[in-house]
Amino acid sequence: MSITVEIADRATPELLAGLNHLLPQLSTSAPRLSEDDLRDLVSSDASTLFVALNEGVIVGTLTLVIFPIPTGLRAWIEDVVVDQRTRGLGAGAALTQAALDEARRRNVRSIDLTSRPSREAANALYRKLGFVQRSTNVYRFSVQD
């Protein structure tokens, strides 16, 4: 098995199907991505969509969001998920490493992410790649739902 990672910049039917296969494995409440949603995502200046491929089949995804604020160019990593059948084979690490490389290339100052403590594999992955846990409160204001 040989995992590769690339930036997905075209809204193809294969990409749409691949993401809609993966997103329910991240969250059962994840809404289904439409063709329009995918077009908006791949054409966004802020978001970079990465996919992990195994022999041409999408087996994982991660989105890197880069945005300027007064304290510098910052980034978030969001929506990281690897297909259940392909976990433990390095796809998650390869996706995260690709996002770190891209952020470095674009002179980002810091990269944040959140991960619930119950997501043991994800927390181990991020720590292994050098993310350091911060002491802060995470708040969310739900505009919809």
Ligand X SMILES: CC(C)(COP(=O)(O)OP(=O)(O)OC[C@H]1O[C@@H](n2cnc3c(N)ncnc32)[C@H](O)[C@@H]1OP(=O)(O)O)[C@@H](O)C(=O)NCCC(=O)NCCS
Out of 47, 65, 90, 112, the only residue in the binding site for ligand X (CB under 6 A) is 90
Cβ-based nearer residue to ligand X, 107 or 118? 118
Cβ-based nearer residue to ligand X, 34 or 97? 97
User: For tokens 């976990």, what's the residue?
Assistant: 87
Tell me the two tokens of residue 45: 């200046």
Least distance to ligand X from the beta carbon of 119, Å? 4
Least distance to ligand X from the beta carbon of 73, Å? 22
Question: Could you give the 3-state DSSP secondary structure of residue 39?
Answer: helix
Out of 13, 56, 70, 88, the only residue in the binding site for ligand X (CB under 6 A) is 88
Tell me the two tokens of residue 133: 């846990």
Are residues 9 and 41 in contact, defined by beta-carbon separation less than 8 angstroms? Answer: no
Least distance to ligand X from the beta carbon of 85, Å? 10
Could you tell me how far CA 35 lies from the centroid of its own chain? 19
Q: Which stretch binds ligand X (CB under 6 A): 38-46, 80-88, 104-112, 130-138?
A: 80-88
Out of 89, 102, 112, 131, the only residue in the binding site for ligand X (CB under 6 A) is 89
The Cα–Cα gap between 140 and 27 comes to: 17
Tell me the two tokens of residue 81: 């998920």
Name residue 5's beta-bridge partners. Answer: 52
Contact status: 10 vs ligand X (CB under 6 A)? no
Contact status: 121 vs ligand X (CB under 6 A)? yes
Are residues 125 and 90 in contact, defined by beta-carbon separation less than 8 angstroms? Answer: no
Which parts of 12-71 interact with ligand X (CB under 6 A)? 26
With vertex at residue 121, the alpha carbon angle to CA 118 and CA 122, rounded to the nearest 5 degrees, is: 80
Binding site for ligand X (CB under 6 A): 26, 80-82, 87-93, 115, 119-122, 124-125, 128
